Structure 1
Amino acid sequence: MTRRDRWRNALRLLLGTLAHLATARLTSVVGREGSYWVFGARFGSGFVDNARYLFEEAADRPGVRAVWLSADPETVETVRASGYEAYHSRSLRGRWLAVRAGTVVVTHSLRDVSLPLTGGAFVVNCWHGVPLKTVGFDAELGEEPWVVRRLHRRLADALDVVVSPSPLAVHSTATGLGVPRTCVHVLPYPRYEPLVGDPPRADATAERVAALAERGPLVWYLPTFRERGADLADRVDFAALDRLLAARGARLVVKPHPFESVTLPADLEHVTALDGVDDLSTMLPHVDVLVTDYSSVCVDYLLLDRPMVFYAPDLDAYREERGFYVDYESFVPGPLVTDDDALVDALARALDGDDPAAVHRRALREAFLTDTGDDPAATVFEAVDAARTGVR
């Protein structure tokens, strides 16, 4: 990012924060409509993650008007096609609902819905993954100029509820997002629903993954984000993995981060790239072995009690540059490998039924995750509704 871009972003943040504070002052006088709940996710770019599951729960509740707001027209159409109410966040109706809604639910920040127009609302940040690596004020925000940090601190003050599915991650969630520990509520992620309760949704992508799973063992490679535009093929020997998979009659699905890509050799027969997957929770039940690194998807996958392999070729550099909240080597519930040969060997063992981390994995789930119940979205809705009515 250039210096000019940084100044532009800082100015945009300043203006958005000032508008947010002005909206808070206005709505303290004219009030907000308690039955209106607006939802958004991933900076307004998709109908995804914890906000989606909580939205669908809220939409079924009597006396609640649940509305999805997005800056992406395609997302708005997707939500409407599913039978729900949705508007472009910059449309007149979208802006009006952002100002009127008593409750705002996001997964990243207020920009998921509208930073300027959500002042004075009861704000719920469901977040998008248990922080194993440092986030927010403990990571990139800590390096920003003082004025930028101060503006983000002011916006953190607007959060009323932050969801954490782990009692052991309350402190890291609070320090990373800049909120008091009392603001962090230990509740299951709504997106856990397909992992512990209802069967996964039968959309086209899920059906494609299910079809792959029917042909033999299915492995997923889900690495965390490194840098915008990075290609996963630069750090993984997919040809070697393809040979292993062919020998075991298995398939590998590679899912890059939305800001990264993967260029696979044309002659691979057992490795498939899958872009544009928004809802991992509907895919994970089809996966027999998960390969990841520092991604919190490993925490979600604990709920299925299946083998994992942790491929971290840049562990030392990543620890130095980013850092962790946990002791990574002792935390990971699976073999930890740092080169291609070791990855092939560990994956071969997993496909052959060798599961040395099974006891650790189950103990970690018991200690690290709160009880999910069989309807996580309902649990979160009821907790949020109780907190909302007790505060506003």
Structure 2
Amino acid sequence: MHTVVFRLVFSLFKLLPLNEKKIVFVSDRGDTLFGNAKFVYDELLRRQLDFTYWFLLKKNSTERKTAKEHILLAYHFATASIIIVDDVYSIIYPLKLRDNTELVQLWHAVGAFKTFGYSRVGRPGGPSIRSKAHRNYTKAIVSSKTVAKHYAEGFGISIDKVVATGIPRTDIFFDRSYGETVKKKLYDKYPYLKTKKVILYAPTFRGAGQANAHFPFAKIEFDRLYNQLRDDYVFLFKMHPFVKKQLSIPDEYKGFFYDMSSYPDINDLLFITDIVVTDYSSVCFEAALLRIPMLFFAFDVEAYTRSRDFYYRYESFIPGPLVKDTDELIQSVIGGNFNFESIDEFVNYFFDHTDGKSSQRVVNQIILGKGAETSAVSGATSTQRTGTKDNSVSW
């Protein structure tokens, strides 16, 4: 549907009454709810609040929406009290939402690391200063007040709209029962994870975005890593989902290297990880919450900084040693050269809350901050839905 037609249909639907009890979750990141949105939804269900929930989910942003899907979007955008997104959602940005509608951004990343959004105006892949992207958010969540200014700049919104609730999906790191359950599940499925220490290599992609994302696999010296570390470690790869080229592990090194890129949740893998090796990935924030030692294998840091840039000077930001080649990486692993003190400083700066209650704060401060009545039921589980209506539309 043409943008002008979509906006016209949306304007017509605005003539209908606003439904104060309707919450709409929209995403082009998957056809099931996950991440921050799932944690917030589960918390809403746990409390048995009197809302109606709609899910307008699509597998990825490259799938075209049908005319019917556009009409559904226009209708729900025009009549919902709260609209929740967890990433870029381009179709909503040109719309003039009702004054009483909240557009809440539960951004998937933690902390502030690589520059994004309007912080990148004038840089490769950055937006035009005239763009409308992100600017109509009424609320956005962050992990701490110290990074609120970066999100306000990146989204092009005022800082009073940025709320330091903490990041809902990090609640699992403070749930001992969840951690033990995940460990058992992983050990049962992958017994080799129990026999040796686990190195998790989780680098970010290279390129301007999803369309041309890649990774320089040639930088991985399989033979050196295998010969030096195989006795005590297994080495897991978790490549960024934007990188479509599959990692090819030579047969002679199987039993040491394992490709876990298809495993859906990197956070689960952290529970069985002894050392995280990354570069510019935000996984360092999650690893820090679990106090996992980290190495930053940033072989192209100068070039990456020129093209992408950071909110902080890279060398002073990272909570672990910088290594630029395979020899330095191996020596740091064997020698146990980790800067543990910097992890605590890192957590204290980037997290205002380390209590596993971020989902609760999002509901209290953002959802119920609209004046909705609370009807929390102590001990209710996420499967109890008294007083709710669940309408899932996955495209």
Superposed pair shares fold, TM > 0.5: yes
Instruction: Tell me which of 249, 253, 257 is aligned to 2:240.
Output: 257
Query: What is the aligned partner in structure 1 of residue 365 from structure 2?
Result: 383
Identity %: 22
Q: Which amino acid aligns with 2:39?
A: Y
Instruction: Tell me which of 7, 10, 16 is aligned to 1:30.
Output: 16
Deviations 1:214-242 (A, max 9, x none): 22211111111213352452222133222
Deviations 1:14-42 (A, max 9, x none): x54x5675566445542332222222345
TM-score (norm. length: structure 2): 0.78
2:150 is paired with a residue whose SS is helix
Whether contact under 8 Å (2:84, 2:104) holds in the other structure is yes
Structure with more relative contact order (C-alpha pairs < 8 Å, separation 6 or more): 2
Deviations 1:258-309 (A, max 9, x none): 1114222222121111123332222222211111111111012111112000
Query: What is the aligned partner in structure 1 of residue 350 from structure 2?
Result: 368
Instruction: Tell me which of 278, 295, 314 is aligned to 1:309.
Output: 295
For residues 331 and 217 of structure 2, what CA distance do their matches in structure 1 show? 19
Whether contact under 8 Å (1:104, 1:118) holds in the other structure is no
For residues 294 and 62 of structure 1, what CA distance do their matches in structure 2 show? 39
Whether contact under 8 Å (1:50, 1:189) holds in the other structure is yes
Q: CA deviation at 1:135?
A: 0.6
Distance change (3 Å), C-alpha of 1:24 and 1:170: farther
Considering fraction of residues, name the structure with more helix: 1
RMSD over aligned CA atoms reads 3.3
Whether contact under 8 Å (1:33, 1:100) holds in the other structure is yes
Distance change (3 Å), C-alpha of 1:142 and 1:317: closer
Alignment of 1:194 with 2:176, yes or no, is no
Instruction: Tell me which of 142, 148, 151 is aligned to 1:173.
Output: 151
How do 1:119-198 and structure 2 match up within 5 A? 119-120=97-98, 121-129=101-109, 130-139=111-120, 149-152=129-132, 155-197=133-175
Alignment of 1:319 with 2:305, yes or no, is yes
For residues 131 and 9 of structure 2, what CA distance do their matches in structure 1 show? 16
Deviations 1:159-202 (A, max 9, x none): 01111102221111111121111111112101101111251575
Gaps of 5+ in 2: 61-66, 373-395
Q: Which amino acid aligns with 1:159?
A: Y
For residues 345 and 286 of structure 2, what CA distance do their matches in structure 1 show? 15
How do 1:266-305 and structure 2 match up within 5 A? 266-268=251-253, 269-305=255-291
For residues 351 and 266 of structure 2, what CA distance do their matches in structure 1 show? 19
Q: Which amino acid aligns with 1:49?
A: G
Q: Which amino acid aligns with 1:109?
A: V
Q: CA deviation at 1:367?
A: 2.4
Query: What is the aligned partner in structure 1 of residue 43 from structure 2?
Result: 57
TM-score (norm. length: structure 1): 0.79
Query: What is the aligned partner in structure 2 of residue 70 from structure 1?
Result: 57
Deviations 1:67-109 (A, max 9, x none): 3321239xxxxxxxxxxxxxx9938767654543321111212
How many aligned residue pairs are there? 353
Gaps of 5+ in 1: 1-11, 74-87
Whether contact under 8 Å (1:253, 1:273) holds in the other structure is yes
Whether contact under 8 Å (1:95, 1:117) holds in the other structure is no
2:152 is paired with a residue whose SS is helix
Whether contact under 8 Å (2:137, 2:157) holds in the other structure is yes
